[in-house]
Amino acid sequence: MHKRYERLGQRFGRWVAVGMLAVLSAFALMVWTALKKPAFPRLTVVAVGDPVVVWSWDRSTNRAVRIAIPAATVIDAVGGYGKYSLEALWRLGGIEKRGGTILAQSLQEALGLPIDGYISPNRPETSVAADTSLVPKPLQISGLPFVMFDYRTNISFVTLIRLSLAANRLRPDSVTSINMTKDNALVEEQLPDGTVAQTPDAGRLDMLLGTMFEDARVRGEGLSVSVYNTTEMVSLGSRVGKLLGRIGVFVVRVGNDTSTVDQCSLRGGKKALASATAAVITGILGCGQEEGTPEVADLEVRVGTAYQARFLPTPQR
């Protein structure tokens, strides 16, 4: 009998050891993935509250930009939903079981800025980064249990901890704080139902944000880039051109191509494809690389139906 229990104990112990090894391996992989040097050094998240805060940390310079936007601000939603306020987009994400993805992607298009994810309170009565003043801790997340249980996010746990530590260690003079108002970026617009709402003005927004989100490596390389829309969506090429221009890419042409592709493709010479510019474009748009000689630029981006899909109506389930 004792030998039987001894064998069971040994067998159970082996399974425990295997389980612990699997957990440690998964954690090590998660940490390694988070610590890998990214192609684009800037990490940008949307913190849901009132105001909604877009918090962008440049890992290469250890500086951050904090944009506070009134939650009642109306923007065009991705997915063919129409115009919604930021707070309504957050609620819509809950209804559609998509969390803050609709809000984050819609803000990405409105600002012309790559956004990596979102973080929001689990309880409606709590708020995230709700004050608009410049403070030493612009994105306050206190303690691991608080992060794990009181917030919802699509950012990996390790990345969230790194972001929290960076935010808490930044000096106040390392953070550029912007409050979007009618005085600098917002204009009044009459909606189809007759109500008047504030919405970002593209020209004023460009003046407000300027070059603060540019990648110095990309701007320093000065490689010219052409963008071609291969879909039937008229504005897709200009959207991508705006996004790339915001991060310092030298976009020289935006046009159309009748040869439709699915995934985004990036074409250029061997040297150009090995550049930081190519790595950033590939990382942000998910392009496949193809060696060749573009007609009018050092690099050629062809945008396909996969990127177009985010702007199309969501199929009914």
Kindly report, residue by residue over 29-45, the tens digit of the pLDDT: 544 444 455 667 899 99
Angle 100-304-217 from CA coordinates, rounded to 5°: 75
Architecture per CATH, 42-190: 2-Layer Sandwich (3.30)
The pLDDT value recorded for residue 133 is: 33
The pLDDT value recorded for residue 144 is: 34
Q: How many other C-beta atoms are found inside a 10 Å radius of the C-beta of residue 45?
A: 26
Residue 141 has pLDDT above 60, yes or no: no
The pLDDT value recorded for residue 54 is: 92
CATH 3.30.70.2390 for domain 216-311? yes
For residue 59, give both structure tokens.
């890992």
The pLDDT value recorded for residue 127 is: 42
Residues of the chain with CATH 3.30.420.590: 42-190
Total-model pTM? 0.79
> Model confidence at 132, in pLDDT bands (50, 70, 90)?
very low
**Angstrom distance (rounded) from CA 168 to CA 170:** 6
Average pLDDT of the segment spanning 272-301? 94
**Angstrom distance (rounded) from CA 12 to CA 29:** 26
Angle 184-188-191 from CA coordinates, rounded to 5°: 145
Instruction: Specify the amino acid at residue 35.
Output: L
Average pLDDT of the segment spanning 15-27? 58
Residue 136 has pLDDT above 60, yes or no: no
What's the first-to-final CA gap in the chain, in angstroms? Answer: 57
- 289 φ, ψ to 5°? -100, 145
Distance, C-alpha 56 to centroid of its chain: 9
Q: 291 with 270: CB under 8 angstroms?
A: yes
For residue 157, give both structure tokens.
């746990």
Residues of the chain with CATH 3.30.70.2390: 216-311
The pLDDT value recorded for residue 240 is: 95
Instruction: Supply the mean pLDDT for the chain.
Output: 81
Give which of 160, 132, 146, 144 is closest to 67, Cα–Cα.
Answer: 132
Distance, C-alpha 95 to centroid of its chain: 21
